[in-house]
Amino acid sequence: MSEILSAIEQRRARRALSPDPIDRDAIETLLRAAHLAPSCANHQPWRFVAVDDPEILARAKAHLSSGNYWADPSPLIVAVVSRPDLDCRISDGREYYAFGCGMAAMNLMIQATELGLIAHPIAGFKQAPIKGVLGIPESYQLITLIVCGRPSGDHSALSDKHRIDEVSERIRRPLDEVVSWNRFAFDDQGPEPAA
């Protein structure tokens, strides 16, 4: 199998994290991988706030959704931050900043997997107070937090559902539900809006 596909298959949004610190060299490798992502007109719209200070981490974690309790031991959270005007804004309404940040985040996550780390992106947090904790100006959007750590191998602190998820096969719709050839052939009902 292709080595790249194998790395992509190994990456999972796992939750059983060890509190062991991640050294700065490894963190810089993650950030370099992220920063090598492509972007529209090479605008590089991503800004990363790498949080490894235990006191600041604790203050930020206080504003995660309750379902993200599992992030508590994490020794590193990377906040992915941008603003619409930091990337292409095409006159027909397309805005590319979040797309660029998504590609950068994926590079980081794949690199983390290769280093034996978990890197789990989350949207479940209160944006305003975390921006306050990290000093992120109001004009920026906190797109995601990537919760990182070494796998602990100990699933006992996970909820029943998360304990099952942690070892389950990956769930994806069949490829032919998301691919059509030569002509658009989808009839999508979007997911319920998230809070």
Binding site for ligand FMN (CB under 6 A): 12-13, 68, 121-124, 144, 170
Which residue type is seen at 111?
Answer: Q
Q: Which SS3 state, helix, strand or coil, does residue 193 take?
A: coil
Mind giving me the DSSP string for 104-166?
HHHHHHHHHHHTT-EEEEE--B-HHHHHHHHT--TTSEEEEEEEEE-B----TTS-HHHHHHH
- For residue 121, the minimal CB distance to ligand FMN (Å) is 4
Instruction: Output 56 or 122, the one with its CB closest to ligand FMN.
Output: 122
Instruction: Output 11 or 75, the one with its CB closest to ligand FMN.
Output: 11
Q: Which residue has the tokens 């060890």?
A: 18
Contact at 8 Å (CB) between 15 and 166? yes
- For residue 47, the minimal CB distance to ligand FMN (Å) is 17
Instruction: Output 15 or 41, the one with its CB closest to ligand FMN.
Output: 15
- For residue 145, the minimal CB distance to ligand FMN (Å) is 8
- For residue 182, the minimal CB distance to ligand FMN (Å) is 28
Closest-approach residue to ligand FMN (CB): 124
Find, among 112, 113, 146, the residue nearest to 6 by Cα. Answer: 113
Q: Which residue has the tokens 């304990």?
A: 163
Instruction: Output 170 or 183, the one with its CB closest to ligand FMN.
Output: 170
